[in-house]
Structure 1
Amino acid sequence: MTGRDRPNVVVLCLDTVRKDVYDRYATRLRELAAVRFEGMRALAGWSVPSHAGMLTGSVPSETGVHARQRRFDPIDVDDTWIAPLSRAGYESVCVTSNIYASPVFGFDRFFDRTVPISPSRRLPAGMDVQQHISDRSTDGVEAYADFVRQALAHEHPLQSLCNGVLLKLDDVSRKLPIEKPTDFGGRAIARTLEREVTEPDGPVLAFANFMDAHGPHTPFRGLDDSIHGVSAGFHSSSFRDSDVNAAEGLGEFESDVERVRGLYAATVDYLDRVVADLVTALAAGDDRESILIVTADHGENLGYESDGYLMNHMSSLSEGLLHVPFDVVATGDGVLEPGNRGPVDVNGLSSHADLGDVIRSLASGDPFDPFAFERERARAEIVGSGSGIPEGGDESYWDRGQRVVYRRDRKYYRDRLGTEAVYDVSGPPSKQTERPEETVPEGLFESAFGEWVTDDDHGERAFAENVDAASRARLEDLGYL
């Protein structure tokens, strides 16, 4: 296949979207899909190690990227699926609203170009308003005047001013009982991605991260309120996930957790509309076929019994986190054999460890056999909490290393403290049922926890000291600090 004929390949990471909620609310994408991998598992339970795994197909103890080392420096570009496609003539681009998957942590070096988008930089050509706020030395009216001066002096003054207005509107909505006027970057990412994919003459390999389903959660313009039913003034920062995680069951937090579940579901429905519109735009805006892989770096714990009554994605390898969507959507007919319009459902176990091989197969132009990526075995791994440890909590517990191995319908678990468990994962998506009468087979876990799970100078407390003030503010808003 010549460069002229090669399809664009677009990996869409719907950050923090779990499989069961996706199946129920991403109805448009489910219908558009040519292939649906129903048993896809992530390689880790939160953003940093999961993104490293998506790039390399490896777990944290192999990539060297985890809670103790949150930069992507240990990964060689040639060890990713991006490098061989770049050598084959693909331009690579990353459009991201995840600060971890951004230049701040070295994620940009894997791509020819990276476009970060954040609440303070909706229009990427304009200035980053949060960076200005962190660097400013003035307050009050003078601070606003200083921003206007800098915005007007910027290469793109109108976009810079718009970024400031949009950020201020979001700030006002957070202080008043009114609906947030903007999403968390989803529409801006889709617009930018459309341009970045359709404008080049040759084939494009794109990676995009949508953070809308990641906390914090609050009603915003565009959500279907018939799904969430939450008052405009609610914001998930009104309680701390770590307090829920430290409690026995949901208790006093049950009503707040129910609100978060509703907003989370409505956000997945919103992302479904945004991405379906993107598919339509790519089909209309480019003669070249685009093949989109819709997946997630990990899912989310929503306080269900199967989640261990946990919230967010700290210190866990639950099915709510590891069972993720993986749908292949194409703007043309190049994914399946001629005459087979799909969808083809791959119901067996599969893993992000094979993401690179899936991409290379789709880009090759050869017949795509999705069943070649079914597995007898898969694994996942984390070390460290990934976010704040509950106040007064046992640090050795929340910061422990954890591993799982899947064998068909069984999930085997072991942590660094010596705890083992066996789960049946043959039931509904994102659910696991413990089988206390079963034991972990001897020799299933290939190695003991090693030096990579110990504290060192690059620990998660130290990493925060090495990022700028604007990045710290973003990480705090996302609940990582």
Structure 2
Amino acid sequence: MTENRRPNIVVLCLDTVRKDVYDRFATRLRERAAVRFEGMRALGGWSVPSHAGMLTGTVPSETGVHAHQRRFDPIDPEDTWIAPLEGQGYESVCVTSNIYASPVFGFDRFFDRTVPISPSRRLPEGMDVQEHISDRSAEGVEAYADFVREALEHDHPLRSLANGVLLKLDDVSRKLPIEKPTDFGGRAIARTLEREVAEPDGPVVAFANVMDAHGPHTAFRGLDDSIHGVSADFHSSSFRDSDVNVVDGLGAYESDIERVRRLYAATVDYLDRVVTDLLDALAREDDRESILIVTADHGENLGYESDGYLMNHMSSLSEGLLHVPFDIVATDDSALELAVDDTTRPVDVDGLASHADLGDAVRSLAGEEPFDPFALERERARAEIVGSGSGIPEGGDESYWDRGQRVVYEDDRKYYRDQLGDEAVYDVSGPPSKQVELPDETVPDGLFESAFGDWITDEERDGRDHAEEVDAASRARLEDLGYL
């Protein structure tokens, strides 16, 4: 394959999408996939360590990026899979709606260009309305007039004004029993990604993060009501996930959690349609083949027994979090050369796989030789977190919720150990995103080689308030996502 004809490679991270819900509701992508990895595991249970792992193939104790160090500064760009592709003529771009995977935390260092999308900046050429609000003390009519003045002085006044209108509509919908008029950025990400991939003359390697499946959850325009059936006045911020996580079972929150589950499922169906439309658009507008790797940085705990009755993705390495989708879809399926007998597609890779090999997959798909998906199967995989990732539940034991946790997968077993010395063995041979504890089995000696904590600096251990390191607009976004 000549350099000029190398395909575009897009790693599309559907943030917080777990494998079982994806399999059931992302039917279009599943049908169009050329290769489907059924046993893919993430390297961490929430955004910061997982994104660091996706770029480097390693865990927090090796990247230095974790709950106590949320910036990506410790990672040398040369140690990612992006740098070698740039050396081979690829342009690199990141389109992201995840504030952690953005310039705010240094994620843009790895790409030629980065385009952040947020609820206050859906049209990226326009001004960021939340930044404007955070930098001003004006209120009421004066605040509106101040915004209009600055928007009209911006290089893209109409887009800036549109960003303000869209943000205000979302704000109004939260206060009234009406459906949210916009999604959480999915369509904006797809439009921007389409432009960033199709316009350059040469090949592009892109990383995109879509946050619609991440909380908060509410009914929005475009969701399939036959899937969720949730009234427009419901918003998941009416209760705190941390409150659920400290009760026995689900308690009084059961009905609210069921609504969240249905909205989550409908959102995965919505993202399935968004990404399928993106594939069709790239096929129409670009004569260069584009290959999408559709995956997730992690899944989501939805309060099931197998999730430990937990919600969200704090302080956990459950299968609901670690078992993620990994489908390879091409705009021209016949052009995706596989080094296996693929007369009947899709090719299903059923064995254990890990995001540790994401870089190998990208490099292989961009290379001259046919891609061998079965070369990514492995005998062992691991995952790791240290710290909770979000606020400690009120009245909770900080040493428990902030503990380090590790798992190792071997065959159909998942071995677990945490910083407090607790261990467990799980059978993960059953349905996706499920684990069954095996109390009669023990963790083999020597499986976990190093101790927790010796790689965290004293400054990090002191628990710096990372929210104080970001601007007011970013802090507001982190609060809305439940990280503060």
**TM-score category of the 2 structures, normalised to the smaller one:** over 0.9
Q: Report whether the alignment pairs 1:478 with 2:474.
A: no
The reply to whether residue 6 of structure 1 matches residue 9 of structure 2 is no
Task: Give the equivalent residue in structure 1 for 2:223.
Answer: 223
Residues in 2 aligned to 1:451 and 1:383: alpha-carbon distance in whole angstroms: 12
Q: Distance in 1 between matches of 2:404 and 2:131?
A: 35
1:150 matched residue in structure 2: 150
In the alignment, is the contact (CA less than 8 A) between 2:69 and 2:460 conserved in 1?
no
CA contact (8 A) 2:250 2:309 kept: yes
2:431 corresponds to 1:423: no
- Partner of residue 301, structure 1: 301
Task: Tell me, yes or no, if structure 1 residue 466 matches structure 2 residue 469.
Answer: yes
SS at match of 2:155: coil
User: How is 1:259-408 mapped onto 2 (pairs within 5 angstroms)?
Assistant: 259-332=259-332, 333-337=334-338, 340=343, 342-408=345-411
Q: Structure 2: how far apart are the matches of 1:300 and 1:457?
A: 26
Relative to the length of structure 2, the TM-score reads 0.98
Deviation at 1:334, TM superposition (A): 2.9
| Residue of structure 1 equivalent to 2:412 | 409
The 5 A counterparts of 1:38-77 are 38-77=38-77
What residue identity is the alignment partner of 1:334?
A
Q: Is the Cα contact below 8 Å between 1:36 and 1:327 reproduced in 2?
A: yes
2:321 alignment partner AA: L
Distance 1:308 1:201 in 2: 49
Q: Among residues 452, 455, 470, which one is paired with 1:452 in the alignment? A: 455
Deviation at 1:367, TM superposition (A): 1.0
Whether the 8 Å CA contact 1:67–1:459 is kept in 2: the answer is no
Q: Measure how far apart 1:342 and its partner are.
A: 1.3
For residues 243 and 455 of structure 1, the distance between their equivalents in structure 2, rounded to whole angstroms, comes to 30
> Aligned letter for 2:414?
K
2:118 maps to what in 1?
118
- The structure-2 alpha-carbon separation of the partners of 1:12 and 1:459, relative to structure 1 and needing over 3 Å to count, comes to farther
- Secondary structure class of the residue paired with 1:293: strand
Note closer, same or farther for the CA distance 1:398–1:453 as it changes in structure 2 (3 Å cut). farther
> Would the aligned equivalents of 1:350 and 1:373 in 2 still touch at CA under 8 Å?
yes
**Whole-Å Cα distance in 2 between the matches of residues 190 and 459 of structure 1?**
40
Q: Structure 1 length as normaliser, TM-score?
A: 0.99
Looking at structure 1, the residues matched to 200 and 344 of structure 2 have their Cα atoms a distance apart, in angstroms, of 28
* Separation of aligned partners in 2, 1:177 and 1:455: 48
Query: What are the within-5 Å matches in structure 2 for residues 72-151 of structure 1?
Result: 72-151=72-151
What secondary structure is seen at the aligned counterpart in 2 of 1:270? helix
In the alignment, what sits opposite 2:205? 205
In the alignment, what sits opposite 1:179? 179
Q: Percent identity?
A: 84
Q: Deviations over 1:164-216 (max 9, x none)?
A: 00000000000000000000000000000000000000000000000000000
Distance 1:459 1:141 in 2: 44
Cα distance change on mapping 1:392 and 1:372 into 2, 3 Å: same
1:446 to partner: Cα distance: 1.7
Partner of 1:16, secondary structure, is coil
1:458 deviates by 6.9
Q: Which runs of 5+ in 1 are unaligned?
A: none
Which residue of the partner structure matches residue 255 of structure 1?
A: 255
* 1:269 aligned partner, one-letter code: D
Cα root mean square deviation, aligned: 1.1
Could you say what secondary structure the match of 1:253 adopts?
helix
| Secondary structure at the counterpart of residue 353 of structure 2 | strand
Give SS of 2:172's match: helix
Q: Which amino acid aligns with 2:337?
A: L
SS at 2:378 equivalent: coil
Equivalences, count: 481
Q: How far is the alpha carbon of 1:447 from its aligned partner?
A: 1.0
- Please list the CA deviations of residues 98-146 of structure 1 after superposition, one character each: whole Å capped at 9, or x if unmatched: 0000000000010000000000000000000000000012111010000
Structure 2: tracts of 5 or more residues without a match: none
**Structure 1 counterpart of 2:480, which letter?**
D
Cα displacement (A) at 1:455: 6.0
Compared CA separation, residues 269 and 460, structure 1 to 2 (3 A): farther
Distance 2:282 2:218 in 1: 30
Q: Bigger CA drift: 179-188 or 441-450?
A: 441-450
Matched, 1:28 2:38: no
Query: For each residue in 1:361-399, what CA deviation from the matched residue of structure 2 results, as whole angstroms up to 9, or x when unmatched?
Result: 000031111001001000000000000111000000000
Tell me, what secondary structure is at the counterpart of 2:206? Answer: strand
* CA deviation profile, 1:230-275 (whole Å, cap 9, x unmatched): 0001000000000000101001000000000000000000000000
